[in-house]
């Protein structure tokens, strides 16, 4: 199938305020290995855990980004529908997730490519090419905090250079999510109880202990 390169001018990054399993997700995830989001509920209209964003190209949803920052670093996952792969949509999604992590004052983004992923080598190579490095526990991690680069902020009508800062609405949503997460019941291990722990927790050896990793 012929593909057309996507650009920042045609792609949109849209916060999904009420993420649910719907027709667009069913279409996109039909071509994404299930091991990428193994604990993702796939029942119609069921609410999904974590922070989600849609990637739209000309109004059509072509991918999704997911982030969980409850345990110190930002664990991220991204999915792009098959017809949009190789167009730049994946790199766009990754860059936006990195910006979201920086906006929250986090220093690292983390991704786990499971051993059962059918394209594990190629996906790992893609992340390495985008600045990630492997860790001893099998994770891929990239430092994004304390960086200075042009992120398209506007200062008196001019592009700004500096750390990404969220607007009031995004900051309020982030603070609400942190408060919700802190209210989760804890197990004896200190991890939140329930089934809404973000994808990757079980196979990646747990999340970062912020008391042991003060970056």
Residue 161 falls inside a structural domain: no
Residue 26 falls inside a structural domain: yes
Name residue 149's beta-bridge partners: none
Q: If you search the block for the tokens 């792009």, which residue do you land on?
A: 80
* Domain total of the chain: 1
In whole angstroms, how large is the CA radius of gyration of the chain?
Answer: 17
Q: What is the pLDDT of residues 123-182, one digit of tens each?
A: 999 999 999 999 877 789 999 986 444 444 333 333 333 444 555 655 666 666 666 655
Residue 5 falls inside a structural domain: no
Residue 4 falls inside a structural domain: no
3-state DSSP percent of the chain in helix, strand and coil, to 5 = 25, 25, 50
Full residue range of the structural domain in which residue 116 is found: 11-156
Q: Model pTM greater than 0.85?
A: no
CATH code, domain carrying 24: 3.40.630.30
Residue 45 falls inside a structural domain: yes
């Amino acid at each position: 199938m012929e593909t057309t390169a996507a650009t920042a001018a045609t792609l949109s990054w849209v916060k999904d305020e009420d993420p649910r399993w719907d027709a667009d997700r069913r279409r996109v995830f039909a071509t994404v290995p299930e091991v990428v989001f193994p604990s993702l509920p796939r029942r119609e209209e069921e609410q999904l855990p974590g922070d989600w964003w849609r990637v739209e190209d000309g109004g059509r949803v072509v991918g999704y980004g997911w982030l969980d920052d409850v345990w110190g670093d930002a664990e991220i996952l991204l999915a792009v529908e098959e017809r949009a792969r190789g167009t730049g949509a994946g790199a766009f999604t990754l860059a936006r997730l990195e910006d979201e992590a920086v906006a929250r004052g986090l220093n690292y983004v983390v991704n786990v490519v499971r051993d059962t992923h059918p394209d594990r080598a190629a996906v790992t190579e893609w992340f390495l090419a985008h600045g990630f490095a492997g860790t001893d526990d099998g994770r891929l991690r990239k430092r994004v905090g304390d960086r200075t680069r042009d992120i398209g902020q506007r200062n008196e009508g001019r592009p700004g250079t500096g750390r990404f800062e969220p607007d009031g609405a995004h900051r309020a949503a982030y603070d609400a999510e942190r408060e919700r997460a802190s209210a989760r019941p804890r197990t004896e291990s200190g991890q939140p109880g329930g089934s809404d722990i973000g994808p990757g927790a079980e196979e990646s050896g747990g999340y970062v202990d912020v008391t042991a990793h003060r970056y």
